[in-house]
Structure 1
Amino acid sequence: MRRTRLFVPLPLERGQELALPEGPRRHLLQVLRARPGQALVLFNGEGGEFHGELVSASKREARVRLVDFDPVDRESPLDLALAQGVARGTHMDLALQKATELGVRRILPLVCRRSVLPPHQVEKKMAHWQGVIIAACEQSGRTRLPELAPPRPLDIHAEALAGAREIQALLLHPGEQPAAALLDTLDAKRPIQLLIGPEGGFDAAERERLRAAGARALGLGPRVLRTETAALAGITLLQHRLGDLG
């Protein structure tokens, strides 16, 4: 039987008995309807995971005993970051979810001309996106959370990219040269950053700004992909060729 996995941002050690924080406790008891004796897997993002069981549960507290530690490492050897143009609602959620499941190490939200992200919503969005990432790690078996950077304007990101020559930046846009033409030139030992626009893509000025910062453009076939589909397809292609997919 598959064990329920929970991210718990606390120091953990074998033999420990602990009370779950409110978020994991509510999810475990109210959503999953777990009962004492339920087998659990806990991880704190520092690597490896702890096997244990729910020993007591009430409206105010859920206590877990950690029985064993497994130093399993399911992280991709590829240092891959997704620089994703901020998209609306579920489009952004799906991009972050699939990027996490597929093993990216960093997620860099970009505020583009076609993005909609009022300043007063940034903190709320960051908390929501972090929740999406945590849930994807719990589901996929990852033991480390990808880093989620605060959203920043594309121009500022391009300036930083121009000064980071060790990064292999790839700009995904319809109609550009086929991906196969670039994949063979990439070094799997150096960081790779995949740049994907929001709904409607990067506009012409943004594409030129990113090219000037050193990004190389590539396409994924003759069809126009939604932003979340482009993220999924691009990451899968890179992980298959240079990472640990297949």
Structure 2
Amino acid sequence: MRRLFYPGELAEEIEITGGDAHHLTRVMRARIGDEVVIAAADGRIARMQVREVVHDVVRLCLAEELPKEGEGAAEVFLVQALLKGEKMELVVQKAVELGAAAVCPIETENVVVRYDAKKAAAKTARWQKIADEAAKQCGRNALMRVEDIAPLPSLLQDTELFNASGTAILFCYEAEEKQSMRMVLRTLQARRIVLIVGAEGGFSPAEAERIRAMGGQPVSLGRRILRAETAAITALAVTQYELGNLDL
């Protein structure tokens, strides 16, 4: 059943407009009595029926409120260095499917791609659109945020992200030879995990020291050399598994 995200609070009757209404009326050919699942901004989820279709406005009425499903025991944020080509789009999409709370794109010393302000805004908007569509497809309860692109030093000053109570910071570092990600995760009692993954060239020693100074723990994903996009997806999957966020 099609899942849509509603920006307001769940009510007995709501109106769907904009792109979602267009998709319902023009692509899905919604008719009176058809049902969709609505995930509202207040966290409530419901099965709703199409009551009326007028141009690009779809009016829905409540059929049944559904039990709220937890997204996971702990929030996981992915801080991802910019990747070239379509790799960033892949990482964003898979981050949604794996239950990340947000993706924070960053510029590091070894990123291959650089964007001016206009291009950066366009890229962020595209990644958010990809994230929203992936959330509808995989049945999430809430949309995943894609933050604006920021240089690594600037992002590390974000006290709301890094200094929140119960936050653990892990960064995938190819020079780490002692701590595996699994080993570190099994020692944590955190309410929020911030994963930092580098670009194709990884992190410079200076960047690694800067992250350590913020309390970040370097972790290894094993002896094999992983592509940057593989590292991001693997890190998220391993983290969610160890946190129990992939349980039924």
2:100 to 91, 100, 104: 104
How many positions carry a matched residue from both structures?
A: 241
Shift of 1:204: 3.5
Equivalent positions of 1:23-42 (< 5 A) are 23-42=19-38
Cα distance in 1 for partners of 2:41, 2:94 equals 18
Is the 2:5–2:39 contact (alpha carbons within 8 Å) kept by the matching residues of 1?
Answer: yes
Is the 2:170–2:219 contact (alpha carbons within 8 Å) kept by the matching residues of 1?
Answer: yes
Please report the TM-score for the alignment, with normalisation by the length of structure 1.
0.85
Give a deviation string over 1:62-114, Cα, whole Å, max 9, x none.
33222222241231011221111122342112212221222222322212231
2:69 to 68, 73, 86: 73
Cα distance in 2 for partners of 1:74, 1:163 equals 23
1:153–1:142: structure 2 CA closer, same or farther, 3 Å change rule?
A: same
Cα distance in 2 for partners of 1:96, 1:198 equals 14
Cα distance in 1 for partners of 2:182, 2:39 equals 37
Cα distance in 2 for partners of 1:41, 1:68 equals 10
1:11 alignment partner, SS class? coil
Cα distance in 2 for partners of 1:111, 1:27 equals 35
Cα distance in 2 for partners of 1:122, 1:168 equals 28
1:45–1:19: structure 2 CA closer, same or farther, 3 Å change rule?
A: closer
How high is the sequence identity, in percent, across the aligned residues?
31
Shift of 1:165: 7.7
What runs of 5+ residues in structure 2 fail to find an aligned partner?
none
1:192 alignment partner, SS class? strand
Is the 1:49–1:70 contact (alpha carbons within 8 Å) kept by the matching residues of 2?
Answer: yes
**Equivalent in the alignment of 1:174:** 174
1:216–1:87: structure 2 CA closer, same or farther, 3 Å change rule?
A: same
1:36–1:152: structure 2 CA closer, same or farther, 3 Å change rule?
A: same
Equivalent positions of 1:47-196 (< 5 A) are 47-57=43-53, 59-113=55-109, 114=111, 115-160=113-158, 164=163, 166=165, 167-177=167-177, 178-187=180-189, 189-196=190-197
